């Protein structure tokens, strides 16, 4: 190890050679790693060290000496400030290559896999204008104007937006104009440091296929004089707006949504078409933000499983049945497990709406319900939150030994950890990994991993 002393605030020159799993550029100086936001592999830069540790540092870009061939001009004028995107300065093809490399590195480093079978990343149909949901913090400028946007990178400084190039463009008028209506109504904006005020966030959703929109104000309490009148005014102004809702979150918390939602005008959900089915989506429903890429990944899953119609499938962490219901149409029996009772209610409604009768939805923690099932499924679909699967889920699968496991993950580090547990004793073999770009312009990557019982794979 070099004896060179690093000092906070020091300027150093770097060649950026890689990206981290959080999206920062990575350079090396005197055998130590430096993480630099807003850089691209191939950049030669001058950076200022801001957080210094013995073996690594975080730095801030000060000067671009030589740009990478993968560096482009961002589509957004505040891309260098706004924390909503990380990679607008990177050309799209290289974003895809970086995401595939991120998956490979995690599977090798964390999972212990040698040359994991990782396919090219499924391209998004468009790297811009794709988000069907956006939730913006609301604030007040120094001059007293109501603002909505994303926080500046690494801070709670709000960057005011009137449009956002990654959200569905049909939502932009609402983003620009609802702030003005809040101002005219003199509704008080929430101040986090004092836990005072009412309006915390502005939530927008759209059905990509139907065009139906929902507008939701996340509030500290219900006290918004004139909200009924204003909600009707919004419905009249925006022809495709089907509902206006309030969601109450009275807690001191970073969580956006509270537990109670009221529909003030119109209806409390929008309709969306996904994989040939119709779904009800409420303000706080989990639904993939990129409808079309989620469909493309589903098609890969259907193709890889090659379903014959006689299988029993269990979909864990099933939400409102987004994947359960299309797959249920191709199997003998499907069971969906989900801890949130509201999501299960929606899943049951969605099954009825689409006349799918061979599916059962059960409420409860997956680690508790899965061991209680009195049957051995042929296929288990895992789609856990970012923290991955509870250890009890992995242990249950290693005992019940379903023929095939499909693990869909939004965080490749926890995916690699759980795949290692499933494969380390030779019970399962990892046969394919398909990343998909659900979040263009960010470092996030969705991944579907396919495992089969090793005894069958060898046969």
The set of catalytic residues is 410
CA dist 358 and 307 (Å) reads 15
Neighbours of 126 (CB within 10 A): 13
Neighbours of 186 (CB within 10 A): 9
Query: For the chain, what is the HEC assignment?
Result: CCCCCCCCCCEEEEEEEEECCCCCEEEEECCEEEEECCCCCCCEEEEEEEEECCCEEEEEEEEEEECCCCECCCCCCCCCCECCCCCCCECHHHHHHHHHHHHHHHHHHCCCCCCCCECCCECCCCCCCCECEEEEEEEECCCCCEEEEEEECCCCCEEECCCCCCECHHHHHHHHHHHHHHHHHCCCECECCCCECCEEEEEEEECCCCCCEEEEEEECCCCCCCHHHHHHHHHHHCCCEEEEEEEECCCCCCCCCCCEEEEEEECCCEEEEECCEEEEECCCCCCCCCHHHHHHHHHHHHHHHCCCCCCEEEEECCCCCCCHHHHHCCCCEEEEEECCHHHHHHHHHHHHHCCCCCEEEEECCHHHHHHHCCCCCCEEEECCCCCCCCHHHHHHHHHHCCCEEEEEECCHHHHHHHHHHHHCCCCEEEEEEEEECCCCCCCCCEEEEEEEEHHHHHC
Query: For 9-40, what is the HEC assignment?
Result: CCEEEEEEEEECCCCCEEEEECCEEEEECCCC
Q: Which residue has the tokens 């959900």?
A: 269
Give the residue from 264, 306, 303, 344 showing the smallest Cα distance to 119. 303
Give the residue from 266, 283, 311, 289 showing the smallest Cα distance to 406. 311
CA dist 272 and 281 (Å) reads 7
Neighbours of 162 (CB within 10 A): 13
């Amino acid at each position: 190890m070099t004896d060179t002393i690093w000092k906070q605030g020091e300027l150093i020159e770097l060649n950026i050679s890689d990206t981290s799993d959080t999206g920062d550029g990575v350079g090396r100086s005197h055998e130590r790693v430096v993480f630099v936001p807003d850089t691209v592999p191939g950049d030669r830069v001058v950076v200022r060290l801001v957080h210094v540790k013995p073996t690594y540092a975080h730095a801030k870009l000060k000067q671009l000496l030589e740009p990478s061939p993968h560096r482009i001009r961002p589509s957004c004028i505040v891309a260098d400030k706004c924390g909503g995107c990380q990679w607008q300065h990177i050309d799209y093809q290289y974003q895809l290559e970086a995401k595939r490399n991120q998956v490979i590195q995690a599977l090798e480093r964390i999972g212990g896999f040698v040359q994991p079978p990782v396919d090219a990343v499924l391209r998004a149909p468009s790297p811009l204008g794709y988000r069907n949901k956006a939730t913006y913090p609301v604030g007040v400028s120094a001059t007293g104007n109501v603002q909505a946007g994303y926080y500046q990178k690494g801070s709670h400084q709000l960057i005011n937006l009137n449009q956002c190039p990654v959200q569905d463009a049909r939502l932009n008028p609402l983003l620009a104009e609802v702030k003005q209506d809040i101002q005219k109504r003199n509704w008080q904006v929430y101040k986090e440091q004092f836990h005072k005020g009412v309006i915390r966030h502005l939530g927008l959703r759209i059905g990509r296929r139907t065009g139906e929109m929902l507008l939701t104000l996340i509030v500290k309490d219900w006290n918004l004089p004139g909200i009924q009148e204003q909600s009707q005014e919004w419905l009249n102004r925006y022809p495709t707006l089907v509902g206006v809702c309030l969601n109450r979150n009275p807690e001191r918390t970073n969580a956006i949504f509270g537990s109670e939602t009221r529909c003030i005008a119109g209806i409390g959900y929008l309709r969306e078409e996904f994989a040939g089915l119709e779904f009800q989506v409420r303000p706080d429903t989990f639904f993939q933000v990129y409808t079309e890429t989620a469909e493309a990944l589903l098609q890969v899953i259907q193709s890889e499983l090659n379903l014959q119609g006689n299988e029993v499938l269990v979909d864990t962490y099933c939400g409102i049945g987004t994947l359960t219901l299309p797959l249920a149409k191709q199997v003998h029996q499907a069971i969906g497990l989900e801890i949130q009772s509201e999501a299960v209610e929606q899943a049951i409604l969605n099954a009825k709406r689409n006349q799918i009768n061979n599916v059962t939805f059960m409420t409860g923690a997956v680690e508790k319900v899965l061991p209680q099932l009195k049957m051995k499924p042929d296929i288990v679909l895992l789609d856990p939150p970012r923290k991955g699967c509870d250890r009890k889920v992995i242990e249950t699968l290693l005992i019940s030994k379903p023929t095939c496991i499909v693990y869909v993950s939004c965080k490749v580090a926890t995916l690699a950890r759980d795949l290692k547990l499933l494969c380390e004793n030779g019970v399962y073999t990892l046969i394919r990994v398909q990343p998909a770009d659900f979040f263009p312009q960010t470092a996030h990557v969705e991944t579907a991993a396919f495992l089969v019982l090793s005894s069958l794979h060898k046969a």
